[in-house]
Structure 1
Amino acid sequence: MEQIILISLLSGLATGIGGLIVLWFGRPDSRVLGFYLGISTGMMGMVVFVDLLPASFTYGNIKYTWIGLLIGILIMSLVDWFIAKFLPLSNHLNQIAEERYYRQLAIFFTLAIALHNLPEGVAIGAGFETQEKLGIRVALVIALHNIPEGLGVASTLMLGKLRSLTIFLIPLSTGLFIPLGTWISILIGEMVPYWISIGLSVAAGAMGYLVVKDIGPESMKLHRLLGQFGMGIGILIMYIVYQLNH
C-alpha cells in the first residue's frame, strides 16, 4: 500500500512542475497550452478506452461498469456545479482591481483542480488493484496531465502578483488530493465487493468527463490546430507505451 501511495503522490506533485515552469520562463502563451492540453486529451482518452473500461468489464460485468461510469460522471458534474454555484467569477475587470480578479481566478482554479484530482487518485488505486502495469500507466498519464494544470494555476497567481514561493506551493498542494483519492480507493476496495470493476469505471467516467467537457474543448479553444496535433501526439505516445508493454 505504501508503494502505491508513494507513486500516487509523485504523480500528484507533478503540478509543482507547472509552477516551476511559470517561475522560470513566465506565463506560457495560448498555443503552448493548447498543444499540451491536446496531448493530455489524447493520452487520457486512450487510457479510458484501452485500459480502464476493458479492465472494468474483465473484473466485473456490464452492470457494475455502467454503475461506475454514471457515478464518475455524476461526481464530476456535481464538482463543476458546486464551483460554478459557490465560486462565481466576475468577467468585468473594470469593476474590481485586476490583481484581485486574478487572485480570485487562481482560487477558482485551485479548488477546481483539487476536487478533480480526487477521482484521478481513485483511478490510480483501482489500476493497481488489477495489475501493476496498469496502475503505473495511469499514474504516468495523470502526472503528465497535471503539468498544464500547474501551469494554469501558477499563471493566474503570477498575474495576481503573488510571491514566488506561493506561486510554487499552491499548485503543488493541489496534487496532494491525488494520493488522498488513492488512499480512499484502497480503503473502499477492502470493504466493497466488485470494487475493482466499479472503481475502474468510476475513474473512466471521471476522466472521460474531463476529456470531453474540460481539457479537450479547452485545448481547441486555445489553439485549434495545435490542440488537434497534440491529441494525435498523445494517442501516438500511448500506442508506443502499449507496444512496449506487450
Structure 2
Amino acid sequence: MVATGHHVAMAFALNIAAGLATCIGGSVVFSKSLVHLASPKSLSVALSLSAGVMLFISLVEIFGKSVEGFTVSLGKDNANGKHECGQTCQGNSWLAGTACFIMGFCIIYVMDWIVHKISPDFSDELDVADLQALEVAVDPTPLHFHATGTPITNCKLDDEKIIKFNAKSRHQLNRTGVLTAVAIAMHNLPEGVATYVAAMRDLRVGAVLAIGIALHNIPEGIAVATPVYFATDSRCKAFMWTFISALAEPLGGVLAWLVVGEGLNPIVEGVMFGIVTGMMVTISIKELIPTAIKYWPQGSAVTVAIFGGMLIMATSLILFAYVGV
C-alpha cells in the first residue's frame, strides 16, 4: 500500500515547487527584465547560498536522522521494556549511517559517469560568455496580446536580435542544451527522492531542503535554456527542454512514494537518510561550489555566501526549536 493524506500532499508540493524553480531559470529567455537572474555574480551567489543550505541541513539534521534510524532498528528492549542501544549498537549505527553516506556519494559519481560515457565532450556548465550573450539576444519588447486576452508567445526572435551561428555551431549548441537537460534531469531525480523522504519524516527539514534545491535549480534552468535558445532561435523550444528536465524532480518524489509505501520503518529511514546526506553533500562540494567560484572567482563572495546559507539554516533551526516546530 502506498501512503496518502495531507503529509504526502505536502511532500509532493515541495517536490513540485523545487522543480518549478528550474522553469524560472529557463524563463529568462522570455524577458529582458529577467536577464539579471542570469548574470554570473547572481548565479554565483545563488549556487553558494544553496551549497551552504544543503551542507548544513544535510550534516546537522538529515545525517543525524540516519543514525537515529539505525539506533532504533539495531537496539533492543530490556527486561523493563525500555529500548536500549549500547556502545556496540551505537558504533554499528554510525558505521551503517556512514556506509549509506558513502553510497550516496557513489550514486552521484556513477550518474555523472553515465552521462559523460554517453557524451565524453559534454559539459553541464554554462559559459560566462553565453550569459553575456543572452542579455544581448533577448528581445526587450513586451509580449503583445490578442483582443481576446490570449498572449502571443513570440517564440521567434526578430532577425536583428538573433546571434548568428553557423550550422555546425547551432547543432553543437542544441546538442549541449539537450544533453544538459538530460544530465540535470538525472540529478533532479535523486533530489526529488531526497525532498520527499525528508518531508515525510519531518516537514520542516523537507521544506528547508526544497529551498536549497530550488536555489540551484534556477541556474540549472538557465544552463538548459540558453544553448537551445541560441541554437534554434526559439524561446518555446528552450523552455520546453527546461520543463522536461524539471519534471524529474516530482518524478523522483513519485518513485520514493512507491518505494516508501505506507511509511518509513527505522531501518529504511536510516538507509534513505544516509544516502540522501551523501548525495546532497556530494552535489554541493562537487558541483555547486566549483561552479560558483567559476562565475565569481575574485574575492571572498562565494565563501561569504556559503556561510550565509549556513547561518540562515542555523537561525531557522534555532527559531523552530524555540517555537516547538
Please, what TM-score do these two structures have when normalized by structure 1? 0.89
Q: Distance in 1 between matches of 2:296 and 2:254?
A: 37
1:213 equivalenced with 2:280 (yes/no): no
The amino acid that maps onto 2:107 is: I
1:97 equivalenced with 2:173 (yes/no): no
The amino acid that maps onto 1:228 is: T
Q: Is the 8 A contact 1:20 1:168 kept in 2?
A: yes
2:31 alignment partner, SS class: helix
Do the aligned partners of residues 208 and 161 (structure 1) sit closer, same or farther apart at CA in structure 2, a change above 3 Å counting?
Answer: same
The farther-off stretch of 156-165 and 119-128 is 156-165
Number of aligned pairs? 244
Pairing partner for 2:318 from 234, 239, 243:
243
Aligned to 1:51: 61
Do the aligned partners of residues 35 and 137 (structure 1) sit closer, same or farther apart at CA in structure 2, a change above 3 Å counting?
Answer: closer
The amino acid that maps onto 1:243 is: I
Q: Is the 8 A contact 1:69 1:202 kept in 2?
A: yes
Tell me the CA shift for residue 186 of structure 1.
Answer: 2.6
Q: Distance in 2 between matches of 1:97 and 1:233?
A: 43
Determine which structure has more spread, i.e. the larger CA radius of gyration: 2
Q: Distance in 1 between matches of 2:233 and 2:107?
A: 32
The amino acid that maps onto 2:105 is: I
Q: Is the 8 A contact 1:43 1:238 kept in 2?
A: yes
Q: Distance in 1 between matches of 2:64 and 2:279?
A: 16
The farther-off stretch of 215-224 and 55-64 is 55-64
Pairing partner for 1:32 from 34, 42, 54:
42
**In percent, how many aligned pairs have the same letter?**
25
Q: Give me the CA root mean square deviation.
A: 2.4
Q: Distance in 2 between matches of 1:186 and 1:163?
A: 36
**Higher helix proportion:** 1
Q: Which has the higher contact order (CA 8 A, sep 6+)?
A: 1
Tell me the CA shift for residue 129 of structure 1.
Answer: 2.9
1:179 equivalenced with 2:250 (yes/no): yes
Deviation per CA, 1:163-213: give whole Å up to 9, x if none: 111222221221211122122223222388511111111111111111111
Q: Distance in 1 between matches of 2:270 and 2:258?
A: 15
2:121 alignment partner, SS class: coil
Aligned to 1:195: 268
Structure 1 alignment gaps of length 5 or more: none
1:214 alignment partner, SS class: helix
Pairing partner for 1:121 from 188, 192, 211:
192
Aligned to 1:19: 26
Tell me the CA shift for residue 90 of structure 1.
Answer: 6.9
Q: Is the 8 A contact 2:62 2:277 kept in 1?
A: yes
The amino acid that maps onto 1:38 is: S
Q: Distance in 2 between matches of 1:244 and 1:24?
A: 38
Q: Is the 8 A contact 1:14 1:172 kept in 2?
A: no
Q: Distance in 2 between matches of 1:90 and 1:116?
A: 15
Aligned to 1:87: 119
Tell me the CA shift for residue 126 of structure 1.
Answer: 1.6
The farther-off stretch of 64-73 and 189-198 is 189-198
Structure 2 alignment gaps of length 5 or more: 1-7, 71-92, 124-164
Q: Is the 8 A contact 2:197 2:256 kept in 1?
A: yes
Q: Distance in 2 between matches of 1:58 and 1:100?
A: 51
Please, what TM-score do these two structures have when normalized by structure 2? 0.69
2:30 alignment partner, SS class: helix
1:160 alignment partner, SS class: helix
Q: Distance in 1 between matches of 2:246 and 2:44?
A: 21
